[in-house]
């Protein structure tokens, strides 16, 4: 039994963290790396208290956890059905109790980042006598682990059947097929292959904007909103990496097409403009006079230009993640100070000019490290 468990830890758990290291680093960076060390504990206590006191906030967090659990389940099912993983189906000969023990262990270890943070939430809820919320979080996490283990058991023991999830996904795909053309390849790739990451970025973005426009709507703090909106930009920088990586691997044939650099740049900007539509719509609907509409529109185009600048970064650093993260962090700091001047239109123009120069300089000389 220990031998089987150790093999599954290497095949599933270790590989999951290797494949998703970049994604998990971004999440850690959002919640821990962007906060001053002396304020880290108080910041997270405030965040947890807001979650426990607001049903809307709680629902958003629960949905984010669900998205992460779906990401874990999809990793397991994809790994099981891979051509070089047929040996995993031999687990089906084990007694059901032994199988469940292995599956619960694997799912719990992959889901561990959420479980650790949930433990702090439960402890704080109990400390503040919010026993109902503590029970809700604990029950929800047990349900997430049980669901993941059940999906593993079902996939391995019913491998010849088409799951309900697969049937629903196929029905949705056939009902909503849209021909976006070449310019829609990048957005289509994100919706098809990186949909869980896309959903988590959207949840995080709406969560950040909700703090300013909904929870603190009556006491709107523009400086605090500026920080939260920059975090929204950093979250979308993850998607930029995925988009450029896809463009220079699976879509590399595009370099042989008669496309000028500015047409490729327009394709990237078109993709990012679609990415950010939900955020702009959310701000316009929940604004209630906190910001001028013109400022929201300028913020939208400024973020599109900044993501385009990040595209130039990736071409300049050869898709090196460490260099890219450093440049994103520097951009975060620079924009944080520039936006305090209130010169939004000038900021947009400057970022767009810099993005164009960087992209044009490195696009044709790109070589992946």
Q: What is the pLDDT of residues 186-203, one digit of tens each?
A: 888 888 888 878 888 888
Cα separation, 224 vs 301, whole angstroms? 20
Q: H helices within 211-292, ranges in order?
A: 222-247, 261-275, 277-285
Q: 3-class secondary structure for 304-317?
A: HHHHHHHHHHHHHC
For residue 160, is pLDDT > 50? no
Q: Is residue 328 part of a domain?
A: yes
Sign of the torsion angle spanned by Cα atoms 106, 110, 111, 115: positive
With bands split at pLDDT 50, 70 and 90, how would you rate the model's confidence at 70?
confident
Same domain? 45 vs 8 = yes
Same domain? 240 vs 115 = no
Q: Is residue 116 part of a domain?
A: yes
Same domain? 209 vs 270 = yes
Cα separation, 10 vs 297, whole angstroms? 48
Range name among 36-40, 66-70, 127-131 with the lowest pLDDT average = 36-40
Q: Tell me the CA distances in angstroms from 236 to 52, 86, 241, 332, one per residue in order.
A: 27, 36, 9, 12
Same domain? 257 vs 343 = yes
Q: Is residue 242 part of a domain?
A: yes
pLDDT at residue 47, as a whole number: 82
Higher pLDDT, 268 or 1: 268
Q: Which of 28-42, 143-157, 221-235, 333-347 has the highest mean pLDDT?
A: 143-157
For residue 163, is pLDDT > 60? no
Q: Is residue 232 part of a domain?
A: yes
Q: What is the pLDDT of residues 319-342, one digit of tens each?
A: 887 788 888 888 888 887 887 777
Of 101, 127, 162, the last residue of a domain is 162
For residue 143, is pLDDT > 60? yes
Q: Is residue 150 part of a domain?
A: yes
Q: Is residue 298 part of a domain?
A: yes
Same domain? 213 vs 345 = yes
Q: What is the pLDDT of residues 88-112, one digit of tens each?
A: 888 888 888 888 999 999 999 999 9
Of 116, 132, 162, the last residue of a domain is 162
Q: Is residue 291 part of a domain?
A: yes
Same domain? 157 vs 186 = no
pLDDT at residue 364, as a whole number: 83
Q: How many domains does the chain have?
A: 2
Same domain? 264 vs 236 = yes
Same domain? 115 vs 260 = no
Same domain? 186 vs 304 = yes
Q: Which long-range CB contacts under 8 A does 42-47 form with residues at least 24 apart?
A: 44/120, 45/124
| Average confidence (pLDDT) over 271-287 | 88
| Average confidence (pLDDT) over 308-312 | 93
Apex 205 CA angle, 322 and 113, nearest 5: 60
**Domain range for residue 263?**
182-362
Using a cut of 0.75, tell me whether the model's pTM lies above it: no
Same domain? 279 vs 223 = yes
Of 129, 162, 195, the last residue of a domain is 162
Same domain? 157 vs 188 = no
Same domain? 344 vs 235 = yes
Are 320 and 241 a contacting pair, CB within 8 Å? no
Kindly state the DSSP code that residue 364 receives in the 8-state scheme: T
Cα separation, 36 vs 29, whole angstroms? 12
Q: Is residue 26 part of a domain?
A: yes
- Cα dihedral 321, 323, 326, 332, rounded to 10, equals -80
Sign of the torsion angle spanned by Cα atoms 121, 122, 127, 128: positive
């Amino acid at each position: 039994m220990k031998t089987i468990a150790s093999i599954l830890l290497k095949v599933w758990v270790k590989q999951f963290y290797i494949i998703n290291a970049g994604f998990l680093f971004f999440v850690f960076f959002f919640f821990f790396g962007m906060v001053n060390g002396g304020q880290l504990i108080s910041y997270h206590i405030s965040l947890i208290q807001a979650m426990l006191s607001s049903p809307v906030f709680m629902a958003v967090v629960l949905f984010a956890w669900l998205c992460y659990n779906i990401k874990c389940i999809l990793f397991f099912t994809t790994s099981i059905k891979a051509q070089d993983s047929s040996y995993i189906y031999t687990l089906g000969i084990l007694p059901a109790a032994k199988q469940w023990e292995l599956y619960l262990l694997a799912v719990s270890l992959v889901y561990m980042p959420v479980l650790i943070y949930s433990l702090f939430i439960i402890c704080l809820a109990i400390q503040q006598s919010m026993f109902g919320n503590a029970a809700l979080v604990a029950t929800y996490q047990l349900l997430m682990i049980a669901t993941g283990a059940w999906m593993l058991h079902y996939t391995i023991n019913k491998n010849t059947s088409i799951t309900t999830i697969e049937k629903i996904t196929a029905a949705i795909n056939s009902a909503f097929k849209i021909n976006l053309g070449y310019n829609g390849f990048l957005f289509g790739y994100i919706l098809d292959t990186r949909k869980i990451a896309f959903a988590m970025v959207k949840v995080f973005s709406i969560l950040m904007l909700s703090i300013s426009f909904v929870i603190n709507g009556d006491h709107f703090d523009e400086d605090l909103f500026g920080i939260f909106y920059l975090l929204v930009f950093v979250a979308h920088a993850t998607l930029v990496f995925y988009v450029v990586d896809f463009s220079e691997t699976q879509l590399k044939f595009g370099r042989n097409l008669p496309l000028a650099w500015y047409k490729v740049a327009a394709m990237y900007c078109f993709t990012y403009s679609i990415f950010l539509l939900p955020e702009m719509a959310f701000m316009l609907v929940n604004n209630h006079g906190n910001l001028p509409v013109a400022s929201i529109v300028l913020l939208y185009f400024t973020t599109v230009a900044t993501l385009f600048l990040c595209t130039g970064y990736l071409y300049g650093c050869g898709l090196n993640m460490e260099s890219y993260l450093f440049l994103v962090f520097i951009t975060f700091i620079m924009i944080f100070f520039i936006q305090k001047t209130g010169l939004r239109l000038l900021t947009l123009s400057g970022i767009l000019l810099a993005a164009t120069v960087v992209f044009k300089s490195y696009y044709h000389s790109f070589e992946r490290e």
